[in-house]
Amino acid sequence: MSAQEYRHIVRIVGNDIRGEKKMVIGLTQIKGIGFNFATAILDILKIKPNSNIGNLTDENVQAIEKLILNPIASNVPIWFINRRKDIETGTDLHLLTSDIPFTLRNDIERERVAVSWRGYRHLSGLKVRGQRTRTSGRRGGAVGVAKGGLASPVKKGGAGAPAAAPAAAPAAKPEEKKK
């Protein structure tokens, strides 16, 4: 193997992947591709999953990109697709990179506008899929409970010692100096 065949950075679907990574791990660095989907891609293309990604040829990179961008045409099982029966188009899609959070935000906004129960739950920041909320999923501090130190006992003849006297009025209390 000559130094010209090995690439230190391989660009696949707009993501730079270091050449020393193994094939499966390198493909999972692309957002939208998990371990099982990466393994399926490499099985379909007959590429060794334990070889370094820097050893890929240009033809292999183009074949991987083609399969990632259109997995349905390449006979990838339909349950690997991450967006089945899209609401807007009705087709099966596989979302990658920045399309995933964009589509998620649009879905949540559509539910809010439709004033659905899920939209209300998203709006309130509560659990959406029917989970219990009585004991789990608590975030933030307790509401209405004041945490503090020990309660100081009340002295006879006075209302109790103040926690911190204001700095501006030390001479305003001459009675305390006499005691």
Rounded CA-CA distance 81/114 in Å is: 26
pTM, full prediction? 0.65
Query: Is residue 133 very low, low, confident or very high in pLDDT (cuts 50, 70, 90)?
Result: confident
Give the number of other CB atoms < 10 A from CB of residue 36: 13
Q: Tell me how far the alpha carbon of residue 59 is from its chain's centroid.
A: 33
Query: Is residue 53 very low, low, confident or very high in pLDDT (cuts 50, 70, 90)?
Result: very high
CB 118 within 8 A of CB 128: yes
Rounded CA-CA distance 129/72 in Å is: 29
Q: Tell me how far the alpha carbon of residue 174 is from its chain's centroid.
A: 61
Q: Tell me how far the alpha carbon of residue 121 is from its chain's centroid.
A: 19
Rounded CA-CA distance 108/34 in Å is: 24
Where does 9-79 sit in CATH, by number? Answer: 1.10.8.50
* CA–CA distances in Å: residue 33 to residues 74, 107, 157: 15, 21, 74
Share of the chain above pLDDT 70, in %: 76
Rounded CA-CA distance 163/179 in Å is: 18
Domain edges within the chain: 9-79
Share of the chain above pLDDT 90, in %: 27
Rounded CA-CA distance 64/49 in Å is: 13
